[in-house]
Chain A
Amino acid sequence: MVLAGGLAALVRRSLRTHALSTLVTAGSLALACGLVMATFAIQAQSERAFTGGADGFDAVLGARGSPLQLVLNSVFHLETSPGNLGWAWYERMRDDPRVALAVPYAVGDSFRGFRIVGTVPERFTEVRGPDGGALTLAAGRLFDPGRREAVIGSTVAARAGLKLGSHFHPSHGVTAGGAARRGRDGAAGASHGDAAHDGDDEDHDDHDDHGGAGTQGAQGAQGVAAFAEAAHGADDPRAHDEQYVVVGILDATNSPTDRVVWIPIEGVFRMTGHMLFGQGEIFVAQPGQAIPAEHKEVSAVLIRYTSPMAGFTLGPEINKQGDEATLAAPIGAIMADLFLKIGWMSRVLEIVAYLVVVVAAGSVLASIYNTMNERRREFAILRALGARRGTVFSVIVLEATTIAALGALGGLVVYVLIVGTASAVIRGETGVVLDVWAVHPVLLAAPLGIMVLGALTGLVPAAKAYRTDVAGHLSPPG
């Protein structure tokens, strides 16, 4: 059917005639629309993901310092540990009637950039994931707390080249990239990493007990330099002597848990080069000998209260005493506070996004307005053929709205690209997953707003079309 759709056909034809201008204008609107949507959605999703990803814990107990650092380190496995606490703190929390669950963490090592966390089996049996379900194993079993065994998160399994039965040597430091990375951050927990060990080339039994006889290198407090000179792992001078075996792989939780290599906490205590300061003096675990509780230490204790009321008494009790420990709670509120503090940055991004929208809207106006001179004859002809003023007015507004609609559609594509990329980067860096398809009001408001704005910008050239002097733009008078 020729010119099917009547006015729509006129709009379509005009847009096609000015295809380049249409594409550029719609493209700029798409960018603006996508940017606005992504700004708001990433902000909202990040906040939701980071304030809700506490894995069922209510509080984190750690060394005196920044609660935010404590939370970032213990819950999100980011940042460095603010320091360590004596084992007694863990026992105190474990035995406190207000605490339903206390899980100790010892950190400071990594494998190929993925952090190694020493903990207890209760971390898996008693803790529920962010979705409320229990952590489940995709393969294998949980580690034996008395052996050099590891349970790895799904991301570690996918990216670190580890599978069930794989052996690996933990590397000292939390940001080292394993064999391929040699940078040293020196930021491990106070009692991890400042120790050294002699390089020992003995083979290790894969399933060696932590206290196994005679397979560990001699250890001593010889300082960082000595540690760096250790020759374990042909290409990683910071590799520990101990060799661990992967016995379990966790199901994906879409949380930072997926990026962690979990080993028995005893293993961290006994890692070559690690020193313990549990009692304020250096203690180096010896193979075959039990570690007295007073020498043990933890980087953090993750706590679940028996009731919400527990936090009201436990928090002040710990935070107002001395300067040894900090109870960071509630975890969500601490992260929310972070987002509040960096809120100005979000505002700036929002303003930039709005400015891009204004510029894009201006481009719609300019692109249509610039064609008005050449098109006045076209409008005059249409009017001579019987089109009303309102008709040519509508054609222009419809044209602007169509460009905006194309922009809004393109905006959705831009949004998916931006959020998809951001999501991949954030997931890669933190393990936190942003849901690209999560419904957010801005996903409806921005495209509609862009279309309304497009229609409004069409009003100016439309008014010009409306006022077209028909007789003056037809054939020359005679």
Chain B
Amino acid sequence: MPASMSRDTERSPLLDVEGLTKSYVTPDGVAELVIDVPTFRLEQGGQVALRGPSGSGKTTFLHLLAGILAADAGRILLDGHDLVAMHEASRDRLRARSLGYVFQTFNLLPGYTALENVALGMLFGEGIDEARARELLDRVGLSDRAAYKPGQLSVGQQQRVAVARALANRPRLVLADEPTGNLDSLRAQESLALIREVCAEQGAALLLVSHDAEILARFDRVTELADVNRAARVDVAGPGDRAGRGDRVTRGAMGEGR
């Protein structure tokens, strides 16, 4: 039984995805299916890893879960709220208040200090709480780097700022897209441990996508993303989800692949 929560649990899942699809239109005008997820669930406070090699649609999947992308069809229930049915502004609000996102490239704003970057994570949610921002920086071991800008921080420190920012709004769910992809092995392990610890402390569920075996080995529950996404194309190490999508649909139903 892989990662996500079992259907027969009595506890309602934090994340409940059903019949989710997303297509892109190629320059040739052909609609290509890139996401086709019949079902996917994640329990409250759970920590799940998705093994996501290139071409498996992991970033697109996470963007859909975060409401950054609009789905074509299906249902994404986050804590009971359906992101697919929501107006964009409502999705934005939900994202600001209930979701944290750790990007592979961290996506810190270069003109802002570490403290400000963490505060930016609160700006569109409940509002800026400087004390909490400092507390989070302290938690990730950067209290002495609050006034540093990203360019003045090491890669590992930047990643920790990104973790602190993702947790700034006390999110229910943290999505992490190859969060250790830019770190060496040792630092990746340390960083992963930190992410998991802090998420657990803050009561946030964690859905992490990686193709790094060492990282995945740290999770009790790991799911093949290709099993989740029937539209995944896993045999081509393409540069992105959109490229060549639809050339091959290699996976069949993954119904209970949770």
Report which A residues bind B (CB closer than 8 A): 1-3, 6, 13-14, 16-17, 377-378, 380-391, 470-471, 474-478
Contact = CB atoms under 8 A, between A and B. Distances in A.
A477 B22 CA distance: 14
Interface stretch (B88-96, B186-194, B214-222): B88-96
Contacts of A380: 107
Contacts of A378: 109
B41 interface: no
Interface in B33-48: none
Contact of B105 (A17, A383, A475): A475
Nearest to B66: A384
A478 B178 CA distance: 9
17 contacts: A2-B119, A2-B130, A3-B120, A3-B123, A14-B111, A383-B92, A384-B66, A385-B96, A385-B124, A389-B88, A470-B69, A471-B60, A471-B69, A475-B178, A477-B241, A478-B59, A478-B177
B42 to A, nearest CB: 20
Interface in B45-60: 52, 54-56, 58-60
Interface centre among B56, B92, B115, B169 (most CB of A within 10 A): B92
B29 interface: no
Closest 8 CB pairs of A and B: A386-B96, A386-B124, A477-B59, A477-B240, A475-B103, A475-B105, A17-B111, A477-B241
A384 B68 contact: yes
B242 A477 contact: yes
Contacts of B105: 475-476
A320 to B, nearest CB: 79
B52 A478 contact: yes
B115 A381 contact: no
Contacts of B27: none
B107 A387 contact: no
Interface in B234-258: 239-242
A377 B150 CA distance: 15
A17 B125 CA distance: 25
B88 to A, nearest CB: 7
Interface residues on B, range: 35 or more
Contacts of B97: 386
Nearest to B242: A477
A374 to B, nearest CB: 10
A14 B120 CA distance: 14
Interface in B100-130: 101, 103-105, 107, 109, 111-112, 115-116, 119-121, 123-125, 128, 130
Contact of A388 (B52, B92, B130): B92
B139 to A, nearest CB: 17
A386 to B, nearest CB: 2
B177 A475 contact: yes
Given A470-B68, A471-B68, A478-B59, A386 B52 contact: no
B120 to A, nearest CB: 6
Contacts of A475: 59, 103-105, 107, 177-178
A385 B121 contact: yes
A470 B88 CA distance: 12
Contacts of B242: 477
A385 B175 CA distance: 12
A155 B8 CA distance: 100
A386 B115 contact: no
B196 interface: no
A14 B133 CA distance: 21
Contacts of B55: 478
B63 interface: yes
Contact of A387 (B54, B92, B104, B112): B92
A380 B107 CA distance: 9
Contacts of A17: 111
Contacts of A390: 89
A478 B107 contact: no
A381 to B, nearest CB: 5
Interface string B168-197: 010000000110000000000000000000
A2 B133 contact: yes
Nearest to A1: B130
A70 B168 CA distance: 81
Contacts of A386: 92-93, 95-97, 123-125, 169
Contacts of A477: 59-60, 240-242
A6 B123 contact: yes
A476 B130 CA distance: 31
B2 to A, nearest CB: 20
Contacts of B95: 384-386
Nearest to A6: B123
Contacts of B104: 475-476, 478
Contacts of B124: 382, 385-388, 391
